[in-house]
Structure formats: C-alpha cells, structure tokens
C-alpha cells in the first residue's frame, strides 16, 4: 500500500483565543504532526519521504497553509512515482 500524506482540520484542538484552524498531518491515517498558526503563518513539520521508505521531518518555516499543501502534494507525487519495490 502506498503512503499517503493528508491534512485534516482539527477545530477541537484550537485554544479559545485562536482564530485560525489547526491542522493534523496524517500519514496513512496516522498522526504525524500538527500545524498551528503563529503570528505570520502556519508552523509545524511535514513528513519528508526518504529513499528507505521512512519519513523525516521537513520544517519550511512560517508560511501560509497553501505552501504546506503544495509541499504535501509534492511529497505525495514523489511517493507515487517510486517503484513498488522501493516502498
């Protein structure tokens, strides 16, 4: 089965004064990390696929949620392009 990285909204994880949504980063439906909104953008680490089939952490800094979605889409494309025996 191929690994799939997804973002899921987590409204119940927000503190009472937070105005921006928190997101859970999932790998095959299991939690990997969480994105939270800081002063100028979202913070958190996203999974970075390694050649041996494991995941490292990639921190792209304080960025808009669209940047994180773009990075996750690129990681999913990379995982899809791998040959089946390399997974």
What phi and psi, each to the nearest 5 degrees, are found at residue 73?
-65, -40
Cα–Cα distance list, 66 to 17, 26, 57 (Å): 23, 17, 18
Predicted local confidence at residue 15, as pLDDT = 84
Q: What is the pLDDT of residue 54?
A: 85
Q: Rounded to whole angstroms, how far apart are CA atoms 57 and 18?
A: 25
In tens digits, the chain (87 residues) has pLDDT values of 467 899 999 988 888 888 899 999 999 999 999 999 998 999 999 998 888 878 889 899 899 999 999 999 999 998 888 766 554
pTM assigned to the model: 0.83
- CB distance 55 to 27 below 8 Å: yes
């Amino acid at each position: 089965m191929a690994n799939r990285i997804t973002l899921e909204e987590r409204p119940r994880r927000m503190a009472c004064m937070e105005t921006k949504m928190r997101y859970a980063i999932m790998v095959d439906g299991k939690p990997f990390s969480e994105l939270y909104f800081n002063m100028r953008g979202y913070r958190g680490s996203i999974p970075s696929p390694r050649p041996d089939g494991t995941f490292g952490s990639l921190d792209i800094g304080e960025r808009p949620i669209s940047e994180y979605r773009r990075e996750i889409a690129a990681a999913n494309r990379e995982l899809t392009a791998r040959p089946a025996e390399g997974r």
